[in-house]
Amino acid sequence: MTEKTAYNIAVVGATGAVGKKIIQILENKDLPINEIKFLSSERSAGKKIPFKGKEITVEAAIPDSFAGVDIALFSAGGSVSKQLVPEAVKHGAVVVDNTSAYRMDSDVPLVVPEVNQSDIQNHQGIIANPNCSTIQMVAALKPLKDAYGMERVIVSTYQAVSGAGEKANGELDAQINQYTANEEMQAELLPVKGDEKHYPIAFNALPQIDVFQENGYTFEEMKMINETKKIMHAPGLSIAATCVRLPIFRSHAESIYIEVEKEGLTVTDLWNVLNDADGVVLEDDPTEQIYPTPLSATGKEAVFVGRVRKDLDNDKGFHIWVVSDNLVKGAAWNTIQIAASLIQNKWL
C-alpha cells in the first residue's frame, strides 16, 4: 500500500468563532490537505467560504459527511460532538474535538503539544483539545513544574467574550452602543446561554462562566482544575480556580499563584525556565512597564507571561500573569498543532 501524502479534512462548526479561526490558520500553514469540507448546522448550509483560491460550499453535518475523511476537527458544541464524533470515528476519521464532551474520558488523550504531545499516540480515534483557559495555563505551568516541582496552584481568570461564541461578541457590541446611547442594556446570552438569568457584560465583570456545579464552582472552573491535572499527569496537584468574564473581545488573561517544591528560588530562576519554554514568550520588565495584555496578545500563537513576582510571605510562592488569544492557542491553533502532529508522527 502506498503511504498517504495528503489528507482529507473536515471542519465541523466551520461558521463559528473557532471554526473561522481554524480555516484562517489552515490557509496560512502548509498542512498536506487533499480535500477539505466545511460543516455546520442546516442554518449555514449553502454558504460559501473561500479557501486557498477555491470557494467551498458549507454542508449540514450528518453522519455520512465523514465518509473518506481522515481528520475531523470538531468545534460545534458538546451536544454536536456527542452525536457526531462517534459517527466520524466509525467512518475511520481521527477526531480532534474542541468541546468538553470527551476530555475527561480515560481513553481520550487531552493534549497541549508543548506539554504532552506524546500522549497523542495513545488515541483510539479521538484526541481532545483542552479548554482555552486550561491551555494557556498549563503551557506556563508545565515547564515550571518540571524544573522546580509544583504543590499548589490558585488561578483567577479575566476572560474574553469571544470564548462564549460569535453571538456573545455581538451582545457586547450592542450593549456598548446601548450604554453610550443612554438606553437600557439588553442581556440575553451571557453569562450562559441556557441558564435562567442574564446580566450585561459591558462595563461589568461576571463571576460565572458556564453553569454552576453542586460544589459551588462553575463548570469552567472545574474544567480548568480537572483538565490541568490530566494534561500535566499530576493527579495530586492542589488547584483552585475562579473564572470571570470581562468586556474584552479577544484573549484571556490569568493571574496565577503557584507554590513550587524547591526552596530559595528567585524571580530570575523562573524567568530562565520561562524563557526556554516551548510556545511561551516572556514579556516581563517592570522598569519599562513591559507585560502582556489581551490587546497585545491578540492574533498571536504564543502564550505570554509577565509580572513574575515572589510571594512576600511564602518562600515557595510565586505570582505570574499569563495572557493568550483564546481563539488561537486557546482553540484553533492548538487543534491544528494536534492535527499536524498526527500527520508528522504518522499517529493517525
Interface with ligand NAP by CB under 6 A: which residues? 13-19, 40-41, 43-44, 61, 75-78, 80, 98-99, 129, 131-132, 163, 165-167, 330-331
Residue 331, C-beta contacts closer than 8 angstroms, at least 6 positions apart: 18, 21, 22, 75, 98, 129, 132
d(CA 202, CA 193): 16
* Partner touching 228 among ligand NAP, ligand 3JM, none, CB below 5 to 8 Å by kind: none
Shortest distance, position 167 Cβ to ligand NAP, whole Å? 6
Residue 157 touching ligand 3JM (CB under 6 A)? no
Residue 317 touching ligand 3JM (CB under 6 A)? no
Shortest distance, position 213 Cβ to ligand 3JM, whole Å? 13
* Partner touching 292 among ligand NAP, ligand 3JM, none, CB below 5 to 8 Å by kind: none
**Residue 92 or 170 having the CB closest to ligand NAP:** 170
Beta bridge partners of 60: 40
* Partner touching 17 among ligand NAP, ligand 3JM, none, CB below 5 to 8 Å by kind: ligand NAP
d(CA 16, CA 331): 12
d(CA 114, CA 134): 13
Please count the residues of the chain: 348
* Partner touching 76 among ligand 3JM, ligand NAP, none, CB below 5 to 8 Å by kind: ligand NAP
Exactly one of 100, 136, 298, 337 binds ligand 3JM (CB under 6 A); that residue is: 100
- Burial (Cβ within 10 Å: 0-12, 13-18, ≥19) of residue 142: buried
109 in helix, strand or coil?
coil
**Residue 19 or 163 having the CB closest to ligand 3JM:** 163
Cα angle for residues 266, 141, 237 (degrees, 5° grid):
105
**Residue 70 or 171 having the CB closest to ligand NAP:** 171
273 in helix, strand or coil?
helix
* Partner touching 223 among ligand NAP, ligand 3JM, none, CB below 5 to 8 Å by kind: ligand 3JM
Does 198 participate in catalysis according to the annotation? no
Q: Does a cis peptide bond (omega within 30 degrees of 0) precede residue 50?
A: no
Residue 60, C-beta contacts closer than 8 angstroms, at least 6 positions apart: 39, 40, 41, 42, 45
* Partner touching 13 among ligand NAP, ligand 3JM, none, CB below 5 to 8 Å by kind: ligand NAP
Beta bridge partners of 12: 39, 74
Task: Establish how many alpha carbons lie within 13 A of residue 146's alpha carbon, considering only the half-sphere containing its beta carbon.
Answer: 15
User: Of all helices (H) and strands (E), which one includes residue 259?
Assistant: strand 252-259
Shortest distance, position 167 Cβ to ligand 3JM, whole Å? 12
153 in helix, strand or coil?
strand
Residues 176-215: x where in contact with ligand 3JM by CB under 6 A, - otherwise, as a string: ----------------------------------------
Write out the binding residues for ligand 3JM, residues 25-64 only, by CB under 6 A.
Answer: none
Order of all β-strands in the sheet with 238-242: 238-242, 152-158, 252-259, 317-324, 303-310, 280-282
Write out the binding residues for ligand 3JM, residues 63-82 only, by CB under 6 A.
Answer: 77-79
**Residue 167 or 300 having the CB closest to ligand NAP:** 167
11 within 8 A of 23, measured Cβ to Cβ: yes
Does 123 participate in catalysis according to the annotation? no
Residue 99 touching ligand 3JM (CB under 6 A)? yes
Instruction: Give the residues lining the site for ligand 3JM (CB under 6 A).
Output: 77-79, 99-100, 131-132, 163, 223
Enumerate the active-site residues: 132, 252
